[in-house]
Structure 1
């Protein structure tokens, strides 16, 4: 279905380096034999890792040498100035030149965003990019953004995030008219600060292919009340880390309870199918990574500590975004939104 699609890979990013990238690529080649891949990194290391796979790589994979890598602890400004010979820079540049339609990296998040903005720019009508994440809920999945790119946001920027979120939900999640809500301290119209109330006023009047439900609270995300939850980067990042910590706490308590006695361990064996289903539902690797929406090119950030399966899911998401034409949808929808100043 992806046709001549090409995905550019930062093969040196992340905590584990190129070994997990090569393992992930084996999975991706099985799932997407028609897609081409460009690997950027130390060509000696990459060719050695590929050779160990004994011919499991097709002619769809090419290697481009990049002499350096961006360290996980480097400041984005430093990386932008001093790492233009890095695997991350070259991977993004492949999208800029049109060689590839999407880029995937497990490297430094701030550097990836900075290099992405510098090389790719923004989709027409979008003032700032946002980091989006797909969370499991009681009713399926919810797109949450921003998860950390913008600490403070005004009304227009929150509207941008809503447009980006609903476009992604339609193109990738297959929702023809996604439900969108603004995260707030209450669902009443008078609640929240000026930016949230201003964004709500714009979205109520916007003629977008979505259903704007108004304000939502934090518990509504897990309940699946909306398909897209919109907030500023400070709140979104705190919420994301809280949810991740709560999931780990539940897993810890569950494992402890199941090991408490012989009967508990027996019950765990009998319930192994249900427990496996729960583990898969809560597995953060299946989320497909962080989505840098709003950039004028597809950029997906896999978790820095991701394993091969998580990186392969990130590649899947990048392919889905490219095939679904997410950026074209974002540009078209944002062009039709009336700014707050023009509202009666």
Structure 2
């Protein structure tokens, strides 16, 4: 459907605005993913933005997606290589128009598989941060031996102070409630040890504030790297540099493990027989650790839901990113952040004075 030919008006309130041109797979993956999402969320209303002719042709091949989508034309697309400063100047891109739809209140959230750095820059300029949040953070879900864990920041802010870490804890707690359905998620600060005296001053200050805050009962204290996959806490809070390194190290370890398993099971007759015996368990493990299941990192702390799909994902992975966005919209994720910030305001306000915020560095990973 196009805006001129659909039953939806130009003032229609959309569940999500979707950047139809982002990602390595382009519109083909986006529309195929929306077809999967349509089965899971038939009442959703999607504003799909991009090359109108190309998107309409793809929707004709995916009637399930067409049933929930309205197409809005965009004059250009942001490439994966474009610098964020350049992307800010392109006002007719599919990514910019998606952000505009959220900023104008036309849509409640945006999903894109496009350029991460451009997406963060546009979100901060167009959608802006929530009152009381100094910086947005990138949050995502990862698997653990006990279930799932929310990690943030994963690369949006390389340098952070104690205030940022406290804000990340508030946002991570709201994220875990909305997406994981946890009534009182536990929170840990990633450190070089679990003892109270470990780590630098910013970590100790953040821990002190959290221990005296309304989140005190949920605050576990310091956690170490192995606690992430052990599921020691439901939320792990860290700066963007450390979080990104931890994320990429975990991804690399999983790839190595599967590579070694393939080598073992293909090494000879006994290996192949062993594979046949354990194959059902391996298939279950592969499904559990499937990165598509965890696709959809979220820029939290903004005046709207902003979800970043992995650029190289397939249709199933893109549908998972849409799932995350709809969960956050449905559970009014930002209302939880605003409520918690108002409860914590008096505890942190006095500490903010006379403190200089560290210089921000943005990762485009």
Q: Which TM-score applies when normalising by structure 2?
A: 0.90
Q: How many residues align?
A: 338
Q: Which residue of 2 aligns with 1:256?
A: 263
| SS in structure 2 of the partner of residue 64 of structure 1 | strand
Of 286, 291, 296, the residue aligned with 1:279 is 286
Residues 1:218 and 2:225 are matched in the alignment? yes
Q: Using the alignment, how far apart are the partners of 1:20 and 1:238 within structure 2? A: 28
Q: Which residue of 2 aligns with 1:71?
A: 79
Q: Which residue of 2 aligns with 1:166?
A: 173
Contact 1:7 1:37 in 2 (8 A): yes
Q: Using the alignment, how far apart are the partners of 1:251 and 1:269 within structure 2? A: 16
Shift of the alpha carbon at 1:209?
A: 7.9
Q: Which 4+ runs in 1 deviate beyond 6 A?
A: none
Residues 1:113 and 2:120 are matched in the alignment? yes
Q: Using the alignment, how far apart are the partners of 1:5 and 1:202 within structure 2? A: 39
Contact 1:288 1:316 in 2 (8 A): no
Q: Which residue of 2 aligns with 1:143?
A: 150
Contact 1:300 1:314 in 2 (8 A): yes
Q: Which TM-score applies when normalising by structure 1?
A: 0.95
Matches within 5 A, 1:143-222: 143-208=150-215, 211-222=218-229
Of 336, 339, 344, the residue aligned with 1:332 is 339
Contact 1:105 1:302 in 2 (8 A): yes
Q: Using the alignment, how far apart are the partners of 2:101 and 2:84 within structure 1? A: 20
Shift of the alpha carbon at 1:5?
A: 5.7
Contact 1:8 1:100 in 2 (8 A): yes
Of 64, 68, 85, the residue aligned with 1:60 is 68
- CA deviations 1:167-224 (Å, max 9, x no partner) are 1111221111111010001111111111111100100000138510111100011100
Residues 1:32 and 2:41 are matched in the alignment? yes
Q: Using the alignment, how far apart are the partners of 2:351 and 2:156 within structure 1? A: 28
Q: Using the alignment, how far apart are the partners of 1:206 and 1:291 within structure 2? A: 25
| SS in structure 1 of the partner of residue 220 of structure 2 | strand
Shift of the alpha carbon at 1:341?
A: 3.8
Q: Which residue of 1 aligns with 2:88?
A: 80
Distance 1:37 1:218, change over 3 A: same
Q: Which residue of 2 aligns with 1:296?
A: 303
Contact 1:163 1:330 in 2 (8 A): yes
Of 311, 315, 327, the residue aligned with 1:320 is 327
Q: Using the alignment, how far apart are the partners of 1:145 and 1:340 within structure 2? A: 23
Distance 1:233 1:63, change over 3 A: same
Contact 2:210 2:216 in 1 (8 A): no
Distance 1:16 1:285, change over 3 A: same
Which consecutive residues of structure 1, in runs of 5 or more, have no partner in the other structure?
none
- CA deviations 1:257-287 (Å, max 9, x no partner) are 1111123222222322211111112111111
Distance 1:307 1:316, change over 3 A: same
